Structure 1
């Protein structure tokens, strides 16, 4: 999705599909029928990672002020994933020091990187 050498996300998205490909996959999953994809952790993770990538690119290209909307969307999606993990996997916000929006986004990056490695096996 992004060049890991020019963004603060490190290698989290190094093997991710392009932003356009990921948007298509997420849109396809969103309209895939009667199942509720919002309850699917993978869907939430991929959407949060996509929005994080977009926000990182926007910030790098246009600066902090111009990326505010993208940052807000990434923060909401990251919190959506954290809320799901708290409810379904016993994640403790306090135990993981998940208080600030940037910490939620760091969590998304770590979880996406772990998920990506598990998909490569």
Structure 2
């Protein structure tokens, strides 16, 4: 558990409180005016979300996913159709990370898990994701969000 202190404009308190509750499991938010009275000090106790919190299970994340063979074909086709060094869209990296995660879940080998984690970390870096979590959980969350909005 840790405590967060934020000084913000009064108009931003709801937005900040919502963002904190999405990023962490939060306790009560205490509000105090700053010395000048124009801004607020927010104090909140927080904990990292547990892996069972906002993270979908693999079954939930990949419920609507195409077959693994289909995704291998799609990612291979995308890689083959673009010249080497050409930037690829986020969807490519997300689908590739999800594919490797799904393979690692079936394979249960250290090499498959390492490849899935490495690709998940690449996605987190690409997204500039300011979260601290298991990278593969992040991929599942992002994939579930992506596929449900297709």
Q: Which residue of 1 aligns with 2:145?
A: 114
If each structure's strand is expressed as a fraction of its own residues, which one has the higher value? 2
CA contact (8 A) 1:38 1:44 kept: no
Alignment of 1:59-98 (within 5 A): 59=108, 67-86=109-128, 91-92=129-130, 96-98=131-133
Structure 1 position 58, deviation (Å): 1.0
Secondary structure in structure 2 of the residue aligned to 1:55:
helix
Corresponding position of 1:17: 66
Change (3 A) 1:113 1:37: farther
Distance 1:24 1:70, change over 3 A: same
* CA–CA distance in structure 1, aligned partners of residues 65 and 82 of structure 2: 25
Distance 1:84 1:118, change over 3 A: same
**Pairwise CA distance, 1:114:** 0.2
Deviation at 1:77, TM superposition (A): 0.4
Q: For residues 66 and 126 of structure 2, what CA distance do their matches in structure 1 show?
A: 24
Task: Determine if the alignment matches structure 1 residue 56 to structure 2 residue 105.
Answer: yes
Provide structure 2 residue ranges, at least 5 long, that are not aligned to the other structure: 1-56
Cα distance change, pair 37–58 in 1 and its aligned pair in 2 (3 A): farther
- Select the structure that is richer in helix: 1
TM-score where L is the length of structure 2: 0.58
The higher relative CO (CA closer than 8 Å, separation ≥ 6) is in 1
Shift of 1:104: 0.4
Q: How many residues align?
A: 94
Q: CA deviation at 1:35?
A: 7.5
